[in-house]
Amino acid sequence: MNRRRGLSARVKLTLSYAAILLLTGAVLLVVVWVFLLRYVPDTDKGLLGISPNRYLLSRIFGEAAAVAMGFLLLVGLVGGWFLAGRMLAPLTRITDAARMASSGSLSHRIRLEGRKDEFRELADVFDTMLEQLEAHVAEQQRFAANASHELRTPLAISQTLLDVARQDPARERDELVERLHTANSRAIDLTEALLLLSRSDRRNFTREPVDLSLVAEEAVETLLPLAEKRGVTLEVTGEPTHTIGSMALILRMVTNLVQNAIVHNLPVGGTVTMHTEPQLAMSVVLVENTGDPLPQDLVPTLVEPFQRGTERVRTDEHAGVGLGLAIVHSIVRAHDGTLTLTPRPDGGLLVTIRLPRAL
């Protein structure tokens, strides 16, 4: 925004200091005149015929008052300029940091020293904002790099298959079509997952009452064929548990949790248990599955995009794109909830989600 240039804050403060000092001096002079000089007689009667009179004292006092007021004005301007500079120095550092941030440099910090006051509190808040912005930008850059890499893989596979088919026209077409279908399906799934992740991050969805117990039953019913195919037993327990949010996003969140619990279960057999219950001001969803033991240091990384809990590569129709728990985490944050991952001692994972309870 273009603005006309005006007086700086330092000049305004300097003039304010000088004006206050002059006003104070003027009040003192008025007080001296009203309560002292007016009681001085205006005749020369007195000791030896000589005594100070009102005219003489007023003249002398007036000259001295003029000098004093001039001195006060000088002290007010010089002292005000110096004090205003000292007071506004932290604001100058904050302005410089904001200017650097606007140019793209988010690594700079103000770090004002001294005891807490309004300027230092503002500087601390600004530093915290810069840290969060820098972390968010770094996360977005890492996510973009990973997304580009993941999208490049199926596209590169498709390109390779087409090149091979062009060079070898006698190659079996059914095999080529099937492999192209698999690669394109993975690219479509990844794109849809990225769009869903972006939608949940923006929080631009309609909120409505949602019964988590009904969502859990719907997700389990949808994934029951997959569980039967893999020999996994699904169990749903709990009571009606209500929250406020997007029905579609919460259903996707629970579905991702159950699907992740199924595909990361033991190769044959195993169980997945889902439980819902209200706890004070929170609505809780618990998803627990058996499976391979998970290292403690691996668990926090499972919610990061394109992270997979095991090195085993799945080649079925539920191979996933590495965004399952990342989407769950994003949806939980968008609903002002918390997500906790706890490895089970006997193997597998316990996922606990807490969402604000609908009263």
**Residue among 188, 204, 127 at smallest CA distance from 317:** 188
Residues 355, 340: Cα–Cα separation, whole Å: 12
pLDDT for the residue 273:
94
At residue 322, φ and ψ (nearest 5 deg) are: 80, 20
Q: What is the largest CA-CA distance in the chain?
A: 140
pLDDT for the residue 315:
41
Residues 94, 99: Cα–Cα separation, whole Å: 9
Strand pairing partners for 326?
A: none
pLDDT for the residue 54:
63
pTM of the model: 0.58
pLDDT for the residue 276:
94
Architecture (CATH level 2) of domain 208-356: 2-Layer Sandwich (3.30)
CB atoms within 10 A of CB 353: 26
123-179 confidence digits (pLDDT tens)? 889 899 988 888 878 777 766 766 676 677 677 778 887 787 777 776 677 777 777
β-strands 271-279, 233-238 pairing: parallel
Place of tokens 């996003």: 249
pLDDT for the residue 322:
63
Tokens of 351: 């996922």
pLDDT for the residue 41:
62
Low-confidence ranges of the chain (pLDDT < 50): 46-48, 310-319
At residue 349, φ and ψ (nearest 5 deg) are: -145, 145
* Secondary structure (3-state) at 8: coil
Residues 68, 259: Cα–Cα separation, whole Å: 86
Residues 143, 305: Cα–Cα separation, whole Å: 7
CB atoms within 10 A of CB 320: 19
* Secondary structure (3-state) at 232: coil
Domain ranges in the chain are 9-105, 145-202, 208-356
* Secondary structure (3-state) at 249: helix
Residues 272, 288: Cα–Cα separation, whole Å: 6
pLDDT for the residue 42:
62
Place of tokens 């199924």: 262
pLDDT for the residue 66:
80
Angle, alpha carbons 46-48-54 (nearest 5°): 35
